[in-house]
């Protein structure tokens, strides 16, 4: 039977229900600072058992608690912080190079563009 969702469904329930689509895949999420929507999305995604999550943010100290929360969900998920300022073209290129050269990714399965004004 197909899973049923409504306004009370938590993100982690979605991720568990559709884990066949994200299990062992690699995702990149921008701006997942503690307390924000990106952080909640990343933590929910962890319940889908992705292989690797790249966190592209400006400030690692704001992402560290989110990475810790993900470790509490699933220790097998590889979490990688990549410094990125989306207002700076050189920072964007450098972040892309860092991800490409990390050796941890054949392809990015999902890009969650959370940063915005």
Ligand X SMILES: NC(=O)c1ccc[n+]([C@@H]2O[C@H](COP(=O)([O-])OP(=O)(O)OC[C@H]3O[C@@H](n4cnc5c(N)ncnc54)[C@H](OP(=O)(O)O)[C@@H]3O)[C@@H](O)[C@H]2O)c1
- Tell me which of 17, 44, 69, 86 binds ligand X, using CB under 6 A: 86
CA distance linking residue 46 with residue 44, whole number of Å: 5
Point out which span in 11-19, 44-52, 57-65, 98-106 binds ligand X (CB under 6 A): 57-65
Measured from the CB atom, is 46 or 115 closer to ligand X?
A: 115
Enumerate residues 7-36 that contact ligand X by CB under 6 A. 31, 33, 36
Measured from the CB atom, is 77 or 115 closer to ligand X?
A: 115
Closest contact distance (angstroms) between CB of 46 and ligand X is: 17
Closest contact distance (angstroms) between CB of 56 and ligand X is: 7
31 Cβ contact list (under 8 Å, min separation 6): 38, 56, 57, 114, 115
Residue 22 CA, chain-centre distance (Å), reads 11
Q: Which residues partner with 78 through β-bridges?
A: 52
Q: Is 24 left (phi over 0), alpha (psi -120 to 50) or beta?
A: left
Binding site for ligand X (CB under 6 A): 31, 33, 36-38, 57-59, 62, 84-87, 114-117
């Amino acid at each position: 039977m197909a899973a049923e969702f409504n306004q009370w469904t938590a993100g982690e329930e979605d991720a568990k229900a559709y884990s066949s689509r994200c299990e062992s895949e690699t995702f990149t999420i921008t701006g997942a600072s503690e307390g924000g929507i990106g952080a909640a999305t990343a933590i929910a995604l962890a319940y889908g058992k992705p292989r690797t999550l790249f966190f592209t943010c400006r400030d690692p100290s704001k992402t560290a608690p989110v990475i810790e929360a993900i470790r509490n969900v699933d220790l097998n998920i590889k979490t990688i912080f990549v410094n990125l300022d989306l207002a700076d073209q050189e920072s964007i290129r450098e972040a892309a190079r860092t991800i490409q050269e990390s050796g941890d990714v054949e392809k990015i399965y999902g890009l969650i563009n959370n940063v915005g004004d």
